[in-house]
Amino acid sequence: MEISAAAVKELRERTGAGILDCKWALGQTQGNFERAVDLLREKGIAAAARRSGRAASEGQVVSYIHTGGKIGVLLELNCETDFVARTPEFTGLAHDLAMHVAAMAPLYVRREEVPPDVLEREKKVLRAQAEGSGKPPAVVEKMVGGRLEKFYQEICLEEQPFVKDPDRPVGDLIKSVAGVVGENVVVRRFTRYLLGETARAATGGGG
């Protein structure tokens, strides 16, 4: 059956689960909203949203060196307890994320970390491009909004399509693992090194 964007949005707001998880739950329940909520709770996905405010001060710093030794990544992934930090699920996620950073070169962990001046400069360029199309002002604003979302997807780790599963944003992957381990899971920061690069290494941090 066809799952509407409005239903997915409402379920996401209600549970905090990712877009793909919400689509899956609604599909599994034939569009029954309350059953979809229960299904996400049963899978531990919805609960991950409620954990997001809990302190995450344990975890791991992992490294990944790309074949050939020309790209290296250091990434800090946090959770709430040392016990979870040693689980295969958490360790696997940490290494997958470091590998993703090596391959996709994000600049920030999440959109809230994009500096205001960078964001304003991008908006200015996007608006100029959109206005060049000759569309009405209302359409121009929609075009800018859509292209800004794509900009976030290109530079923010949590919004990039996961390199091993391009249909899934990295943020949804992190929430799913948080549901499995039962704790808040947060990417704190990362640094990506490219051999011979003279500019400042791409770095993300915060949370």
Digit-coded pLDDT (tens) for 147-179: 989 999 999 999 999 999 999 999 999 999 998
- DSSP helix/strand/coil, 97: helix
- The C-alpha atoms of residue 123 and residue 1 are separated, in whole angstroms, by 37
Q: Is residue 26 predicted with pLDDT exceeding 50?
A: yes
- The C-alpha atoms of residue 22 and residue 120 are separated, in whole angstroms, by 32
Pair 30, 2: CB distance under 8 Å: no
**Does 10 share its domain with 47?**
yes
Q: Is residue 41 predicted with pLDDT exceeding 70?
A: yes
Q: Judge residue 130's burial from the number of C-beta atoms within 10 Å of its C-beta, 0-12 exposed, 13-18 middle, 19 or more buried.
A: buried
Using a pLDDT cut of 90, give the percent of the chain over it: 44
Of 27, 25, 44, residue with least CA distance to 36: 25
- The C-alpha atoms of residue 164 and residue 145 are separated, in whole angstroms, by 28
Using a pLDDT cut of 70, give the percent of the chain over it: 87
**Does 119 share its domain with 172?**
no
**Does 29 share its domain with 127?**
no
- Quick count: other Cβ atoms within 10 Å of Cβ 146? 12
**Whole-structure pTM over 0.85, yes or no?**
no
**Does 99 share its domain with 185?**
yes
What's the CATH code of the domain at 125?
1.10.286
**Does 107 share its domain with 180?**
yes
Q: Judge residue 179's burial from the number of C-beta atoms within 10 Å of its C-beta, 0-12 exposed, 13-18 middle, 19 or more buried.
A: buried
What's the CATH code of the domain at 19?
1.10.8.10
**Does 135 share its domain with 123?**
yes
The per-residue pLDDT for range 98-143, each reduced to its tens digit, is 999 999 999 999 999 999 999 999 988 888 888 777 777 788 788 8
Question: In which domain, by residue range, is 121 found?
Answer: 115-153
Q: Is residue 199 predicted with pLDDT exceeding 60?
A: no
